[in-house]
Structures are given as structure tokens and as C-alpha cells.
Amino acid sequence: MKKERVDKLKNSAKLKDLVVIMNELLGKNGCPWDKEQDHKSLIKYLHEEAGEVEEAIKKSDWENLKEELGDIILQVVFHSALAEKKGRFNIDDVIKSINAKLIRRHPHVFGGKKFKTSAQVLVSWNKIKKDEKRKKGKK
């Protein structure tokens, strides 16, 4: 990849550019370690990064939290890229899924429901979640 393109990607704040970087890492001339990974081999890193996010929050270390949240986003992009290579789904599918879920589970914001307390919100959220799992055949 040309230096100008690398410099532009390095300074980008766009998710689509992170996807480009990940695809480059997994591509023909990419990183051998990245190309050896699969969903299961990455589980430990996902747990590790989540723990580091928790630690940064507990310490109110906002600069470190910014970095650790980036590592969590990397995990999402990495798993999505691996799934895309197998024809399962891609990052756009992941984002579409969470967008739809957030709208579905917040009928008091995006629909006609009215809740006055967070307790009412939680009751609704849990009912919607339970109904979704039941429809998918999960307990």
C-alpha cells in the first residue's frame, strides 16, 4: 500500500477505514498472525480487552478508556472480517442488527410507548428480549 494511503488511513476516524485496514491485514500481503486467527482463537483477546475497558472505567482513566474501546471495536471488526471471508455476514450486517435491536427495544423513544421510570424501561426491555429469544427458539 502506498505511503500516502497509509498516512490517510492512520489519521482517519472512519469505521470504513478501519475495515479497509483489517482487510489489508487479512489480505494476501497481510499479517501472518492475523491471517492465522479464527473466531475461537480471538476469544481470549475479547475477554482481555473487555477487562481492560472495565479497569480504565474504574480508574476514571479516560485517555486509556478511549484506547481500550478502540481495541473492542477492533475485535468487532476482526470477527466481522473473518465472518465475511466465510460468507456468513459482514460489519454492515452487524451494525444493521444492533440498530434494529436498539430501536426495537426502545419503544418509548422510537415508538408510541410512554415510560416514566427506568424501572419501567427495564421491565419492557426484558420482556422484549425474552420475546425475541422465544421467537428464535432460545430460552
Give Cα separations from 111 to 6, 36, 102, 104, 119 (angstroms). Answer: 44, 45, 12, 9, 18
HEC string for 5-62: HHHHHHCCCCHHHHHHHHHHHHCCCCCHHHHHCCCCCCHHHHHHHHHHHHHHHHCCCH
List pLDDT tens digits, range 93-111: 999 999 999 999 999 999 9
Can you name the CATH fold of 3-91?
Answer: Helix Hairpins (1.10.287)
List pLDDT tens digits, range 11-62: 999 999 999 999 999 999 999 999 999 999 999 999 999 999 999 999 999 9
Domain ranges (residues) in the chain: 3-91, 105-139
Q: Which of 1-10, 104-113, 121-130 has the lowest mean pLDDT?
A: 1-10
Average pLDDT of span 80-98: 97
* pLDDT of 137 above 90: no
Please tell me the predicted confidence (pLDDT) of residue 139: 60
Distance of CA 138 to the CA centre of its chain: 22
